[in-house]
Amino acid sequence: MRRSIPIVALACLTLITGCFITSGSKKINYTKILFGKGGGFTGQYDEYFLSKNGNIYQKDKATKTFTKIKSLTGKETKAVFKEIDDNKLFELGFNYPYNMSCYIEIVKDSTSNRIVWGNAKNPPPAVVTEFYDKLMGFIISTNHGIQNNSNKK
């Protein structure tokens, strides 16, 4: 009987530890992801951000305020934020703006990492443009930020 107590205690400890490890790995470590494109003669940018709760907001150019335009599912949100760690985007230093530039800024508490590119002669790593395209794909699917040319003949 005394020998079974350590085995039961060890089994319980393993189960509890496994629960903590599993729940910790699903936590989103970042506050938000800002992204956009623009510049040029006007200096105007199309700007968005994805919060860690899955809401996507668009910045109004006139009022400079953000308006919610879409919500991602929990699974989609976790997958997007997981890509930051998988591709080490928070640690990536890349700052090569051009006349027209794109950017991704990853915010973690009070620190951030901004990745900027625009010159075709100095492109960012492929993981950056793939991640940016994924973020912009969410915007395109909402019909925000896209000019509708279907009425033109």
Domain annotation covers residue 103:
yes
Which CA distances in Å does 12 have to 16, 17, 19, 70, 129? 6, 9, 11, 42, 46
Domain annotation covers residue 42:
yes
Domain annotation covers residue 120:
yes
Q: What CATH number did the domain enclosing 59 receive?
A: 3.30.1560.10
- Measured between alpha carbons, how far is 51 from 72 in angstroms, rounded to an integer? 10
- The predicted pLDDT at position 26 comes to 61
Write down the pTM of the prediction.
Answer: 0.75
Judged against a pLDDT cut of 50, whether residue 20 lies above it is answered with: no
pLDDT tens digits for 103-129?
Answer: 999 999 999 999 999 998 999 999 999
For residue 67, what are the contacts with CB-CB under 8 A and spacing of at least 6? Answer: 57, 58, 60
Domain annotation covers residue 79:
yes
Q: How confident is the model at residue 43 (pLDDT cuts 50, 70, 90)?
A: confident
**Contact assessment for residue 149 and residue 138, using Cβ atoms and an 8 Å cutoff:** no
- Measured between alpha carbons, how far is 46 from 79 in angstroms, rounded to an integer? 24
Domain range for 59 = 32-140
Domain annotation covers residue 10:
no
> In the chain, how many domains are there?
1
Q: Cβ–Cβ contacts within 10 Å for residue 103, how many?
A: 22
Which CA distances in Å does 111 have to 32, 75, 150? 11, 25, 42
Quote the tokens at residue 61: 């150019």
Q: How confident is the model at residue 143 (pLDDT cuts 50, 70, 90)?
A: low
- The predicted pLDDT at position 111 comes to 95
Q: Cβ–Cβ contacts within 10 Å for residue 29, how many?
A: 13
Any idea what the Cα angle at residue 131 is, between residues 137 and 48, rounded to 5°?
55
Domain annotation covers residue 149:
no
Domain annotation covers residue 44:
yes
Domain annotation covers residue 13:
no
